[in-house]
Structure 1
Amino acid sequence: MKEKLVMKKIGMDKKSILFRMTSFVIVLIVIQAILLTGTLIAGGVLSQAQENAYQSFYDKVHNRNDSVQREMKNRWTNMTPFINKFSRNLSDTSSSKAFFDESIDELINMLRTTQTTGAFIILKKEESEKYPALYIRDYDPLWNDYTSKDLYLLLGPSDLAKKQKIPMDQSWKYDMKFDESNREFFEKPFSKAPLTFNANLLGYWSPPFKLFPDDLPIITYTMPLFDADKVLRGVIGVEISVNYFDQFLPAIDLQPRDSMGYLIGYSNAGANKIEPILMVGALQKRMIRAEESFALTEVDKNRNIYRVENHNSEEKIYACLERIGLYKFNTPFEEESWYLVGLMTENHLLNYVHKIQQILGMSLLASIAIGIVGGYFISYRFTKPITQLVKQVRESANNKALRLNPTGLTEIDGLSSAMENANNELLESTVKMSKIIDLADFPIGVFEIKRDSSHVFMTDQLPSILEIDSALMSEIIQNKEKFIAHIKQKLNNPEKEDENVYQIGADPTKYVKVKLVKNENSTMGVVSDVTQEILEKNKIKMERDYDPLTMIYNRKAVQRRIENIIESASSQGTAALIMFDLDYLKQINDTYGHQWGDSYINRAVLHLSKIGGKSSVLGRRSGDEFVLFLFGFEDKDAIRMEMDNFYEGLTKDLNAFPDGSLKPITISGGLLWIEDWTLKYDDLLNKADQILYEAKSRKKGYYVESA
């Protein structure tokens, strides 16, 4: 009883061994826990996790924007091949009814080709509120019935519907009458027609509206329509229903459940004032205020990520903005910008960051609790001074189990045993922290090199991340010079475009990021596995620079490559820029289908890629146009020989088509000799394009060179 009272007094005495040892053990464990936690934070675990979340958000919105932009700019606006025939029909016919009778088949073809929900022609009629119109609608463009049973006549003469066996829509009208709610899609492009006869530069995308009060909401793309004499007669355009547009904005892209998805924003004043004009899904419509412009606070400038301030949700909502490039520079409507806006709640966007914070907090609390309980239990057994043991403890390595020499005294030996247990618990705490990192599924390793020690401290994950055998690692950490030399040898292949990133494996490829924190007494390194991040970045670069069908440079990439070569023109020898046009591609597509057209393109690229070898740059400029830059040749005859070999190879390569016919590939070319290296790429391209036009005018299937 007296012993318990004495121990209680000792426990309350701040100068007692019990108090001092307990405090020492607790502080040591807390420092270890804080050190590991601080190392993770200083090493950028939280910031990198947040960066990864923002990057993933940006990548999803960017890829979706590319997809939407391809549909809007390439497929839905592909009206140019049909406009010339409409223009000739306008000049050849005396009445709108006769014109519509001549043009309805071509309008249906345009509707099928663009895969939109509607196609129309509206003619201007002087001194009349009712305009002659031919408007055909397809409620499901992805399902084509070539008997036209899936089409509906919305505007136009009813006898045309009978003749074509097209049912009339329930909202059918004979002609078009405009009011304040529906006139912009006609008047805006029509009013800009005096600027140029190139209708492609005057195309206008309308925000969603209703053609009639009882009609469904639609988006339209319209251009002025001139007759063959360049007289403005009306507009031609296509319609995309809002319901059909919604299919290209899948909310599941961003979140598997409860996703706010995408919306389309509109602005004529830059990104500072964006109004939602097309919203998808009940959740989005409930949370986003459609009647207000977005109030945005910038979060990540490089990735266009903002926090939405005006919404109806209790959670924070983040938005990623991507501008949809609909209009060319210096065109009438370039100030009207459309944006693809991806929306995510903070809980989902930063879910992984919050989990890491919770794990680190719980680990710190667990380490403190273990230190308090273990330290007090061990220290409670000691009652005498332990000077010699303190000396041994100070001289021992922190990363090894503590082993104290026995003194032969029961009390001191008991103290020694307790201190050994405390040290083991410290090591276990470190191991637990390493396991927690493993459970967090974030591959990261840490090492520390102290100035006054030859030994290197490391976490268990470091050997596997650096692909170093555990036995070898155990050997080299005993000597910091060997460790430093081996690490330098391992990290001898830095990634050019990413700072502090190194490739350490070839099969499979592996990338690590190394961050060093130095102070007066030590150097601490944090090594993380960033393989997935780098591979995804490289994949994005591939998708950015290469044409997906032919796997040669796309339009922008080939321009960058050629411009780089032109800048160093003094060392390029004889050079030429050649524009190629693949003949009869449209006929092959129309006759045999796009699968055979794609095969025809790839067969042509196979031959084109053989011209010039390493002294050439080849890219696809559009569907049937290719640009080839040849440089570093001794003289013009060497280039002519390459061209002759190319065309000779084409004549020997016959393509078998489904109808049993054998046809060679025919390509027309315009060759521009590069005489003036001060000309810009666009100027060279325009000159080569003119020569190509001359070649196609003379005889298709060969090339013409500049004078």
Structure 2
Amino acid sequence: MITKTLSKIRNTESPLLKRLLIPMGVLVILEILLLVGSIFTGGLTSSLDQNAKDILQQKVASRATYLQNEMIQNWSNVSLTVEKVNQKALALDKKGDIDLSKIADGSEESAPFLNAITDDLISMMRTNHVTGAFVILNTEDLSLTSSGKKPGLYFRDLDPGSAASSNNSDLLLKRAPISLVDKLNIPTDSDWNPLFDFTEKGYKDASFFYKPYQNALKSSGDIEVSDLGYWSQPFVPGRNLDGTSVISYSVPLCLSDGTVYGVLGVDITLDYLQRQIPYGELTTDKQGAYLLALRKNDTFRFKDLLVNGPVYSQATQNLANPDIRKADDKGLSYFLDTKTQGGKFYCTIEALNLYNTNTAFAGDQWVLIGAVKTDDLFSASNHVTMVLAIAIIITLLLGIGGSILISYLIARPITSLSHEMDAIDPKKPVSLRRTHICEIDQLSTSIEQLSSDVIDANNKFARILNMASVKLAGFDINTTSKTIFITSQFFELFQLPDIDVESLTIEQFAQQMEQLQPYLSEEDSTQSVFLYEIPSQSGSVYVRIKYVCVDRHHIGLAEDVTHSILERKIIEHERDHDLLTGLINRRAFYREINRLFSRDSHQLKTAALVMMDLDNLKYTNDTYGHDCGDKYIKSAADCFVSAVPSETIISRISGDEFYLFFYGYDSREAIARVFENMKKSIDNSKFQLPDGQTTKIRVTGGIAWYPKDSTVYEELIRYADFAMYKTKRSSKGAFRDFDLGDYNRESYVMQSKAELSEILEKGLVEYHFQPIVCTATGEIFAYEALMRADMPTLRTPYDILSIAKEERKLAQIERLTATKSIETFVSHLRSGAVEKECKLFFNSLPNQVLSAADIEKVESDFSPYLPQVVFEITEEAHLSEKLQTVKMKFIKKWGCGLALDDYGSGYNSEKALLELSPDYVKIDMNIIRSIDQDSNKQEIVRHIISYGHERNMKIIAEGIENREEACTVIRLGADYLQGYYLAKPARIPPKPDPLVLDVITAAYKTD
């Protein structure tokens, strides 16, 4: 404030000085303009700019060549695979295993062919290092019909660069027939479907399938298949739940006779593709961007544009509405000059020659665009320009300074009046001689009047200060008269009693205040309030100064606020510190760590947040009393403080929990060394117990690392807390680093438990129904109710039952299953969707029974329909004899049936069959599957049927998936059939295809 006041006084100019400065300043400016013109007409900056453009073009050309080689020589190298696939198609057709004219009619018709080419497709995907491979079968002209649903295969490999698994467990199966899913033993993706559904959102633009296929239909038979290959624009395949976008290369499957029966292709995810075009190579500060697009007649197509780089959004905005000017004769480099917020970009464009000349898609030219902001690209020339500008400014300042000096020398005769003013005592009335210059004499008169006013005001101000009950002092600077008034006690407040304020000038006063700057502890520039902490023999003295400006007076009031400041510090210390340990408390810790994370991250460097818990505090409190426990906490806190560097933040969060925050280290190893010293200190600690014995301080802790685990302190605290409690559950007295995998698994389990509670509270399940058909009549005998849920983590009955078992909530599941399935089935009976005589099968948990209240409610609500209910029991564990008796009692009371489910799966035994004596035995689908080809399975089923029929048990064959399996089990004597061959489970009870029912009745009559 004092410095600004002096600056205003010294910069006061007279009219004479201005008249001298103006023409000299104009002369200096003309000289500078001549210098600028001579520099910038030499072409230095344009040469630097051209060099930068050439380097960028070379980088983009090199990357485009690499990408073109990858796309042509590796990714799209599918000719050999196409040849193998065609050979197998002809062989299977000739053998009669498939009919090429009907191969696209459904999953079952295409399954033998798809099974035969699976290894070829996987081998091609791994050899070509692509993220996906697919085959889509079709025998129709797509211009005459909608794409609809098509059979095929689709594999996904999210990391083609990693080593391949011998059992293909690193792959995902996205599309394949159901029969193939079980054989391949490859995990299915979350959006798996047996067919390609081109009505789904991601496949609405199915050019990757439509274009190569239709062009193959139009082409002559002798054309090369590779000439019909097509690179698609990015799209999201089908219902892809993770939103992964891909580009694909696809070719038609054509035989030598011109038959076109499908499309084979590969895909590349955009995530994988982005790694092939690293934008960081464009500029040293990684501020460039790569863009991959299609170009037709210098028009770029930006739908689903692939981009990579921190400035891609601005570059895309410019390219979307470009004002393009060609920068060279080749037409490869463009300069984008737009008025958008993104600014100016320089782009160089390289074409990728992916198609041969005169081929079907030769008009689709892929281009790689390298975009760099012009400010970054031309930084060298900009730097040269800036250096020259600085030189010009310095020259200008020197010229102006010289002009001022010359003007001052010319105006020197009028400075005599200034000398006279210097000799005047400001505390006495001022009287100046006249110079007979109108402006100067008017100024003298004004100064005389102001001097009189200042003396009068200062006297009043001094009298007021002397009457105050606190130590106050002040000063008043008059910018007009260039005088200062200081009260006698002003510098005494600052512990400087020897300064004579009577003789101080404005400059001397400013120098004294400058010397006090090191003691400035707080500053509020907006309110012009400054707090000084002055050291003294009895401790620090706090002085607060507030400045105000009234007209041409700068006034400052100084006040000794030592007492109030010390009281405030005591209150703040008690507020922020734990009374027992002296460590900062939770609130102070959060404030301090928030302050650190709000600053530049360079100050944190590598950091670690440690959460610690005293292991045996409860034992100490219970055994020796809370006073001893407090001493134990205090000893532990002292141990922590003495074992770590002073800059470490240590806080007691609660009774036995502490936070330690290590920061500012160059590496984790450096923190680890400090941490090891602390653990040794803790291990060597001794605490004296009241009975004279000693014990060690035992601590369990968790560690979260910055920036490895997180850069957000709230997450670090949460992670350290998780790691500590994870450690306490396994072994006390140890420390463990945070593990994100454990954290995510725990989170998954917690969410699953929450979803289970929501399902049970709100009944958020529904039931789909699958028909059970009588082999003798071909009519629907019953429906099985199958549980379905639509929750983020709990989606299958297995998931729900697993969590329910862990949470001991199987009884609630049993109640929900019984009531909800019967209720839903009854609603279908009443609506006419199900015949009145149909029975309902539902899965009942073996060791769970309905409570008396539940039994009473079921009887009250559904009594007329209970004889149509059949309880299915799977022997997953030993069935309690007591629970069996209770369950059989109300089953018999209701007139329900009893079925033994999954017989022969390994869960059931002959003992269960003997103990339960069920009405129905459901043979497990693993025995039924491919039974027509396995004589051993046929023999097992024959014995089961024979045993059951002798004891009036009805036999149900589960998992029937084709005609051959159905006819075989009918021949063996099965009473009922169930499986996908008849119908898939659906919300509305489905009815089998009449043709399928005809097959069943015909097979029964034949046998």
- TM-score (structure 1 length as normaliser): 0.46
TM-score normalised per structure 2? 0.33
Higher relative CO (CA 8 A, sep ≥ 6), structure 1 or 2?
A: 1
